[in-house]
Amino acid sequence: MRIAIYGSRRQLPYKDSIQSLLRRLSLAGAEIYMAHKLYTHLAGDLALNLSAVTLAGSDFRSLPHIDMALSIGGDGTFLRTAAWVADTGTPILGINTGHLGYLAPLPVADAPAFVDNILAGNYTVEHRSLLQVTEPATRGWHCALNEVVLAKDDSASLITAETLLDSRPLATYKADGLIIATPTGSTAYNLSAGGPIIQPTAPVWVLSPIAAHSLGMRPLVVSDDTVLRITVSGRGHTFRLTLDGRSTTLPMGTQVTVRRAPFTTGVVQPLGTGFPAVLRTKLMFNA
């Protein structure tokens, strides 16, 4: 079995658990590949023994077939892991060394003991949809597992987002910004902006305005097979387009086209975890 590992570079409190995880994987005969920044952090800063680990390049596709990717960190790390894995279809297991960890259900202390479950296939994989920005052409990864956000610059007044749904007028949002969230991202920025929580595998998007100028502008759920075209205008010269925390600045008047990506991200769920458990244990749902 081939395992690829991606992670954040803040792992000092968890070095013993990570070393134990690597040892268990090696003893089980797994081939282990590790992203460069995490490899440098663990080998250099934390002096871990990585003799059983192969250094991976930045291009995930340059690796041989990978059976599973491990994301060591929090939700932000998981999103970066998803971008690293891209459209290869490799399922990702989130190992939590962050805070709440909606996308990382496995505590790092439990990860070494979970190796046997990985090898035996004792887990499920949820296929999560992504948003894809097809216009305009921007640098870097054009997809988002959580959300796409169109927002004013820090010093600017509100923006106007003229929104078309499958080329038909939907709404003119006057707000600080507009969030287009996937079901996976419904518990992220969307939730903070007053949007609904959506079951992660539901075939929908959520449009949630940020600090809307009108009380009539409410979060809206639409089918994920629609195409959104949003033209942004305002008093400023530019606005920000953000995909899962990766921002670029665009001139006012730009039309942004968002649609469902032609692939999904596989999220590994240990048996007994999943959406209902996340609601109860991490969102205190019905508490």
Q: Where in the sequence numbering do the catalytic residues fall?
A: 75
Angle at 191 between CA 103 and CA 139, to 5 degrees: 65
Residues in Cβ contact with 127 at an 8 Å cutoff, skipping those fewer than 6 apart: 201, 264, 265, 266, 267
DSSP string, the chain: -EEEEEE-S--GGGHHHHHHHHHHHHHTT-EEEEEHHHHHIIIIIS----TTEEEE-S-GGGSSP-SEEEEEESHHHHHHHHHHHTTS---EEEEE-SSS-SS--EEGGGHHHHHHHHHHT-EEEEEEEEEEEEES--SS--EESSEEEEEE-TTS--EEEEEEETTEEEEEEEESEEEEE-SGGGGTHHHHTTPPP--TTSSEEEEEEES-SSTT---EEEETTS-EEEEEEESSSEEEEEETTEEEEEETT-EEEEEEEEEEEEEEEETT-SHHHHHHHTS-TT-
Largest pairwise CA distance in the chain: 61
Alpha carbon distance 71, 57 (integer Å) = 16
Alpha carbon distance 284, 287 (integer Å) = 5
List residues bridging with 107 in a β-sheet: 96
